Chain A
Amino acid sequence: MNTITLAHGSGGGLMHELVEKLRIKFSNRILDEMTDAAELNIKGARLAFSTDSYVVKPLFFPGGDIGKLAVFGTVNDVAMKGAKPLFISLALVIEEGLDFSILEKVTKSIMGASRRAGVKVVTGDIKVVEKGAADKLFINTSGIGVISRRGVRIGSKAKKRDVIIINGTVAEHGMAILNARENLKFLSEIKSDCANVNFQTERCLAASRNISVMRDPTRGGLATALSEIARASNLGIEIEEDRIPIKPKVKKMCDILGFDPLYVANEGKFISFVSGKDAKRVKKAIGKSARIIGEIVPGHKKEVYLKTALGPSRILPMLEYDQLPRIC
């Protein structure tokens, strides 16, 4: 690896390779767990801590904006550890020349999103850089929450006989961003699913003590998130194409552009790996849009298989490079 390419930020295999190179340098028991948030034990209090940076373009898109994304993204990462998110930090890197009205609009959105997620912005930072050094606005948020349920231990490893539940339809955020950024002018507006999921995860945890993993399938999509978990767990995963919920207009847009929806980013979704006996209860706790999409299977260790609608199975590899629209 001599130079960093855009592919190193795509959420796929190359990014994992880069993250691993860096992780080794900082290796410790907490970091090595490699979950969406780190679990900290401070004088008996169990805390979850996460950080993320937001560089989305355009800043405003159907269904959300960079501000909303910056709050919900970090809140969701903290929630994936089974924690109740409480506080976030907010750091802004602003490009010289940005219209103040844009900053105001983003700030308003951050306030609304924080209220909705039940978190407070408690510290922050602002930097202004010269024109060209940042693309209008970059945001970093870090979040902290409390893991208060006894016996809850959400990690990176699924267990045998776990069943996989997703809380709703896939591929909306990535397609909404693409449509907005490239001005593709699809008549049917697709909105990002940008949303906080922390209240849904709380209900999951109230419904079952046998949840082994929770993950939000952001960059790299559902397939990449499943692939990460399969590798970490040293177990095989099988999901069924027919069971994966997707809105018809999103599927159509993916078909037209030649995109596989399983690799498109989501921002208001999470998957949970639950013991089979608790699956129905957890599904009900999440809500009407939840679906059981697959399960842990014996054999095929570290791999994810998709049973196609036609019947045969195929491997779902981790995303390597950003998907590109087909030419013809």
Chain B
Amino acid sequence: MEVCGTHTMAIARAGIKKILPEEVKLISGPGCPVCVTSQGDIDRAIELSRKKDVIIATFGDMMRVPGTKASLEEMRRHGSGVRVVYSCLDALDIAKKNPRKNVVFMGVGFETTSPTVAAAILRAKSEKVRNFFVLSNFKLIFPALEAISASKETNIDGFICPGHVSVITGSVPYEKVAKRYKKPCVITGFETIDILKGIERLIRQVKRKRHNVEIEYKRAVRKEGNRAARKILSSVFEAGNAEWRGLGVIKKSGLKIRKKYREFDAEKKFKLKSKTVPAPRGCVCGEILRGVKSPPDCKLFRKICTPQNPVGPCMVSSEGACAAYCKYNEDMTYATDRERKS
């Protein structure tokens, strides 16, 4: 199982599944930060965008994710203040340029992204920016890895571990998953050769009944990770319970803003409550994220749920499993490939 949306896309783009032997199956896990954001969390941001004094700043990928009633893109078209940003610091800039508006950065992402948001909050504090807020939907990947490993739904033999998350976390946190659940973990880069090497290392471990943590992505990942980034992160955020699409509430798997920085917490400012909202009828994004189903198993896939008219986030996110299937037609073998095989 890969647990990183960038790996999902890289695997699909290179056609890796088509060259693997039949005994090796790759399954996509909960690695796409947009896809794992719960319906309730998306609805909260959309409701917030209705307020006339609020500008929602978010990554482009979140714009088209369907909420229960609308998407952020639809809200923008109807006049809501919704802006696409490339980083949280862009949102802070917007706040400084619009002192009469409350600018809320809707944050999604894992350990790769959250330190930059922590840094933005620290900057906002030092520059006394009063109209900048963060709606944190950031998640920690390791509790999800444990939840998947503990589950009896799928029989995962090993994990292709996220390269960029691991730049921050280092390799040590994976050891718990490897030892307790006896699952080998290989931290892998994103070039085709990286992914193939990562798969090879996992197969070797499985055959030898080993369950170690290896770093294939040595050019970017060190065992100790990035201590400075983790220090900034933990100074601003603390772990709290979080709802994951498809996985439910996982303890200590989300990042909440610490009391010291509560003036930047959008949840506190706007008194937002978490609500569990059912997924759209027929949408099996949750099961896809758990690795129980693959996109073609979904009755809506390509029929009602398409890239132009997505029902669930796995289809609309640029790193979603359904988007990868659609874009790269992973389930199709072409005549040219059949000729080559024969």
Contact = CB atoms under 8 A, between A and B. Distances in A.
B112 interface: yes
B16 A310 contact: yes
A327 B340 contact: no
A312 interface: yes
A216 interface: no
Contacts of B108: 327
A324 B318 contact: yes
A255 interface: yes
Contacts of A101: none
Interface in A154-169: none
B319 A326 contact: yes
Contacts of A260: 13
B94 to A, nearest CB: 13
Nearest to B15: A312
Nearest to A5: B77
A238 B336 contact: yes
Interface string A304-328: 0101111111110100110111111
B77 A311 contact: no
A312 B329 contact: no
Contact of A326 (B13, B318, B335): B318
A182 B329 CA distance: 32
A14 interface: yes
Contact of A313 (B15, B33, B192): B15
A317 B329 CA distance: 10
B19 A310 contact: yes
Interface residues of A, number: 32
B77 A328 contact: no
Nearest to B78: A3
Contacts of A14: 308
Size category of the binding interface on chain B: 35 or more
A299 interface: yes
A14 B33 CA distance: 26
A67 B249 CA distance: 55
Contacts of B177: none
Nearest to B18: A312
B88 to A, nearest CB: 11
B13 A308 contact: yes
Nearest to A13: B308
A314 B13 contact: yes
Nearest to A307: B336
Interface string B41-79: 000000000000000000111001000000001000100
Chain A CB count within 10 A is highest, among B15, B19, B319, B327, for B15
A328 B307 CA distance: 21
A24 interface: no
Contacts, number: 91
Interface string A198-242: 000000000000000000000000000000000000000010000
A182 B164 contact: no
A302 interface: no
B190 interface: yes
Contacts of A325: 59-60, 86
Chain A CB count within 10 A is highest, among B34, B335, B340, for B335
B60 A324 contact: yes
A184 interface: yes
A158 B340 CA distance: 26
B13 A300 contact: no
A58 interface: no
A258 interface: yes
A141 to B, nearest CB: 29
A314 B15 contact: yes
Mostly helix, strand, loop or mixed at chain A's interface?
loop
A320 B323 CA distance: 12
B164 A300 contact: no
Nearest to A181: B86
A303 to B, nearest CB: 9
B142 interface: no
A238 to B, nearest CB: 7
Given A3-B77, A14-B308, A299-B335, A328 B164 contact: yes
B308 A305 contact: no
B14 to A, nearest CB: 5
B145 interface: no
B329 A327 contact: no
Nearest to B113: A328
Interface in B289-332: 307-308, 318-319, 327-329, 332
B217 to A, nearest CB: 14
A78 B165 CA distance: 49
B5 A326 contact: yes
Contacts of B308: 13-14, 320
Interface string B11-48: 01111101100000000000001100000000000000
Contact of B327 (A255, A307, A308, A317): A317
Contacts of A324: 59-61, 84, 318
B329 A315 contact: yes
A314 B318 contact: no
B105 interface: no
A146 to B, nearest CB: 41
Given A312-B18, A328-B113, 5 more contacts: A258-B318, A310-B15, A321-B64, A325-B60, A326-B318
Q: What are the 10 tightest A-B residue pairs by CB atom distance, in nearest-first order?
A: A312-B15, A324-B60, A328-B112, A312-B18, A315-B329, A328-B113, A313-B334, A313-B336, A308-B15, A314-B328
Interface of A: 3, 5, 13-14, 182, 184, 238, 255, 258, 260, 297, 299-300, 305, 307-315, 317, 320-321, 323-328
21 contacts: A13-B308, A14-B308, A184-B86, A299-B335, A300-B335, A310-B14, A310-B192, A312-B337, A312-B340, A313-B334, A313-B337, A314-B15, A315-B329, A315-B332, A320-B308, A321-B307, A326-B5, A326-B6, A326-B319, A327-B113, A328-B109
